[in-house]
Amino acid sequence: MDERRRILLRRSLSVIAIAFGALTLFAGGRVLFLGVDPGFVVFRPLLVFNTTMGVVYLVAGLAFWRDARWSRRAAGIVLALNLGVLAAVVALHQSGAEVAVDSVRAMILRSAVWAALFLGAHLSHRRNGGSP
């Protein structure tokens, strides 16, 4: 991949991560701080995690834009955290805890988005010879 395409890819990743972070903060903040009812049972620890991660998504997005050397690692860490929480949420839901299926679906979406962002970050940091 030539340098121009790598830059375009990183900028695209940045916009996606920042938009996803802003939406996450908006949605979580409305419920957490304004008491808006989302229409399903809220598992408060998950709400706090996701709202906090909205800030992390913004930071990772800025790292993509600036081509920070640690942006690929940041995307991997975010993905790993989301996958870990997804596994916990699925286990809680299956055990009968008050975790809405909407929360499970939302964590699947978050994990999928960050898997794609991690893959994109990996591709955008590869050099022409195939080495990282």
Q: Convert the pLDDT of each residue in 70-97 to its tens digit.
A: 999 999 999 999 999 999 999 999 999 9
Q: Convert the pLDDT of each residue in 34-66 to its tens digit.
A: 999 988 889 999 999 999 999 999 999 999 999
Helix 101-124 crosses helix 3-34 at what angle (to 10 degrees)?
A: 160
| Ranges of each domain in the chain | 3-124
Of the candidates 42, 38, 22, which has an alpha carbon nearest to the alpha carbon of residue 30? 38
How buried is 118 (Cβ within 10 angstroms: 0-12 exposed, 13-18 middle, 19+ buried)? buried
- CA 122 vs CA 90, 98, 103: distances in Å: 28, 37, 28
User: Mean pLDDT across the chain, nearest whole number?
Assistant: 92
pTM of the model: 0.89
